[in-house]
């Protein structure tokens, strides 16, 4: 009955159509305002990429508070740095020995312009430069040492002027300090400290095309949780720089660490720009010490190819970009000898054949590499010329395998 009376009343009210239209218009206005409010809210919720100058200023003010972000937070502070050279093909270079020698009782010696000129002339234009973490960052989680950092900056500037590029790494092998230190992840050296130093370096070098890549740690075998700490450092760097390649390795940097039956399957990178690194030597234990003769070490012409093949197969299986960060042979240098002034340096020529075969195999698979080593504190594998400017015998082999990418290209 109530429905019937309401219906009758509506039919008899001459103002009902106008009132209904007004209500509809009012509802439409309210709905439109709601949509507008939602759009404004959504717009304000979108994260903004700050200008490079503003980002740098803001990041610098936060140095003391830098921590490793979670994977989901990786791009909360995006700093795109697009000036890093794109490596098309593969390159050859040299490890420059010396910026970490103070830990062993000698003065630190960064590469000189004469060394940069020499290797440029030889066609080796990419330099892997090991550093001492404790000299770059004397206090964990603290600021970078300006004197040590200035030497790094000068090296990068001099290399860039010669169309050369630098890769920095830490020689600490998973501990701080390098000699008699505590492992990363211990109570004395928390993992966030390692992420912190790399975030500060990324802030300093992002956008600087003289630094080709960030190489996290040289041979981190003292850090038993290295895969976890490396992954955290990758995320920390990517919160700052999403452009430069990051060079990584498992805890075992030799070819055995990359066996397909081994558990290592790589790391995650939001920027999808990791280079995997191995160190390959040809003496009996793969250490690169070459304590014995060619025959004592059980060497043979294809020993280098056999050593590196598991690494190359691992790279091909998983489709990763790979790089041999260290390799070398005896070159007529006696460890600690910095006074050679006469006489042609010699070695067993059979080692040169090993190196030649090894590099030809890397050429075939377009794998980049940096020879160990050059610099004023050369060891038995040094390719640094004598004080009278004579080439080491392995230099002729290196010059035959210069790669397809040059940093000046």
* pLDDT score of 220: 93
Q: Where are the chain's structural domains?
A: 2-45, 55-398
Burial of 4: CB neighbours in 10 Å, binned 0-12, 13-18, 19+: exposed
Q: State the average pLDDT for the chain.
A: 80
How does pLDDT run across 78-95, given as a tens digit for each residue? 333 334 455 678 999 999
Which parts of 65-179 are beta strand (E)?
A: 92-96, 126-131, 165-170, 175-176
User: What average pLDDT does range 204-229 have in this prediction?
Assistant: 95
User: What average pLDDT does range 298-326 have in this prediction?
Assistant: 95
- Residue 10, pLDDT > 50, answer no
- Residue 76, pLDDT > 70, answer no
pLDDT band at 408 (very low <50, low <70, confident <90, very high): low
- Residue 171, pLDDT > 60, answer yes
* pLDDT score of 51: 31
pLDDT band at 47 (very low <50, low <70, confident <90, very high): very low
- Residue 7, pLDDT > 80, answer no
User: What average pLDDT does range 82-111 have in this prediction?
Assistant: 78
Tell me the CATH number for domain 55-398.
3.20.20.80
Structure tokens at 218: 């040289």
Out of 26-30, 50-54, 77-81, 196-200, the most confident range is 196-200
Least-confidence region, from 129-133, 224-228, 232-236, 263-267: 263-267
* pLDDT score of 13: 41
- Residue 152, pLDDT > 90, answer yes
- Residue 186, pLDDT > 80, answer yes
* pLDDT score of 107: 81
Neighbouring residues of 63: CB distance < 8 A, sequence distance ≥ 6 = 143, 200, 203
Q: What's the sign of the alpha-carbon dihedral 384, 289, 351, 248?
A: negative
* pLDDT score of 65: 38
Neighbouring residues of 14: CB distance < 8 A, sequence distance ≥ 6 = none
For residue 135, the Cα-to-chain-centroid distance in whole angstroms is 19
The SS3 of residue 308 is: helix
pLDDT band at 106 (very low <50, low <70, confident <90, very high): confident
- Residue 342, pLDDT > 90, answer no
Q: Report d(CA 150, CA 116) in Å as an integer.
A: 18
* pLDDT score of 23: 56
- Residue 96, pLDDT > 50, answer yes
CA distances from 161 to 48, 164, 408 (A): 35, 7, 10
């Amino acid at each position: 009955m109530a429905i019937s009376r309401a219906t009758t009343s509506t039919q008899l009210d001459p103002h009902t159509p106008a009132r209904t239209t007004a209500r509809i218009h009012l509802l439409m206005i309210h709905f439109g305002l709601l949509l507008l409010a939602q759009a404004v809210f959504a717009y304000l919720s979108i994260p903004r990429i700050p200008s490079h100058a503003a980002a740098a200023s803001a990041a610098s003010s936060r140095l003391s508070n830098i921590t490793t972000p979670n994977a989901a937070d990786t791009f909360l502070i995006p700093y795109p740095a697009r000036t890093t050279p794109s490596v098309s093909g593969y390159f050859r270079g040299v490890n420059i020995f010396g910026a970490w020698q103070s830990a062993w009782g000698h003065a630190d010696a960064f590469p000189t312009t004469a060394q940069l000129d020499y290797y440029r002339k030889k066609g080796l234009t990419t330099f892997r430069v090991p550093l001492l973490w404790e000299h770059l960052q004397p206090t964990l989680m603290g600021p970078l040492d300006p004197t040590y950092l200035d030497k790094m900056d000068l090296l990068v500037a001099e290399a860039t002027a010669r169309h050369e590029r630098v890769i920095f790494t830490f020689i600490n092998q998973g501990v701080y300090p390098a000699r008699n230190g505590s492992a990363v992840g211990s109570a004395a050296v928390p993992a966030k400290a390692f992420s912190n130093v790399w975030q500060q370096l990324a802030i300093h070098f992002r956008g600087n095309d003289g630094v080709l890549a960030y190489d996290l740690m040289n041979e981190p075998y003292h850090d038993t949780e290295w895969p976890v700490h490396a992954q955290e450092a990758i995320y920390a760097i990517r919160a700052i720089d999403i452009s430069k390649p990051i060079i990584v390795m498992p805890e075992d940097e030799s070819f055995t660490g990359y066996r397909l039956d081994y558990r290592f399957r790589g790391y995650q990178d939001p920027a999808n720009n990791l280079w995997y690194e191995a160190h390959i030597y040809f003496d009996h234990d793969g250490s690169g010490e070459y304590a014995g003769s060619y025959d004592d070490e059980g060497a043979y012409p294809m020993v280098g190819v056999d050593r590196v093949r598991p690494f190359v197969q691992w790279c091909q299986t998983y489709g990763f970009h790979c790089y041999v960060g260290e390799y070398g042979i005896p070159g007529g240098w006696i460890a600690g000898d910095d006074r050679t002034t006469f006489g042609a340096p010699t070695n067993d020529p059979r080692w040169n054949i090993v190196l030649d075969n090894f590099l030809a195999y890397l050429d075939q698979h377009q794998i980049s590499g940096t020879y160990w080593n050059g610099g004023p504190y050369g060891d038995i594998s040094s390719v640094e010329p004598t004080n009278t400017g004579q080439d080491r015998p392995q230099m002729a082999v290196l010059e035959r395998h210069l790669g397809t990418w040059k940093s000046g290209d």
